[in-house]
Amino acid sequence: MKVLQLSCVAIAYLLVGGFTPKPLATQTYYYVSGTDFQRIEPAHTIEIELCQRSMNCTAFTDINNWTTTAQAFNQTTDYSKFIGSITFDEESVADGGSDGQLTLQEALNAICALYQATTPHAMQACYDVGTARVCITAADACH
């Protein structure tokens, strides 16, 4: 009887929490200061400073261009300006956001795809990816 009870407890644990990836936490990732292609608004292609040029998916989705260390920029509500940071519920297992959580790579890929799907491209304050939500913080200048 004890073995059966312990087995039931073990199965219940696995069903309730053992197989479900736990979120790491609500996480903010900052676009690294000095990184190229920070402009959210499209068609900025000839600016002398590369950070002033419009974002492209190659640079935007490169996880090396993001850090959890706060970067110096002034926040703005003008989403034609520059990328500052993104915030979302992070997890370590890529599954498309069906559980309300994303990996950094999933969040970046989704934001870029959704941004490019609008004509003309227009950054939004938040995007829903599956049941996950990714919110964008715009910066008032290249940082």
The ranges assigned to domains in the chain are 26-137
Say how far apart CA 109 and CA 69 lie, in whole Å.
Answer: 21
Q: What are phi and psi of 137, to 5 degrees?
A: -110, 125
**Is the per-residue pLDDT at 71 higher than 90?**
yes
The answer to whether the beta carbons of residues 68 and 51 sit under 8 Å apart is no
Q: What would the mean pLDDT of 6-28 be, rounded to a whole number?
A: 58
Residue 22 has pLDDT above 70, yes or no: no
Residues comprising the chain, all counted: 143
**Span 51-65, average pLDDT:** 97
Q: Give per-residue pLDDT as tens, 80-139.
A: 999 999 999 999 999 888 899 999 999 999 999 999 998 888 899 999 999 999 999 999
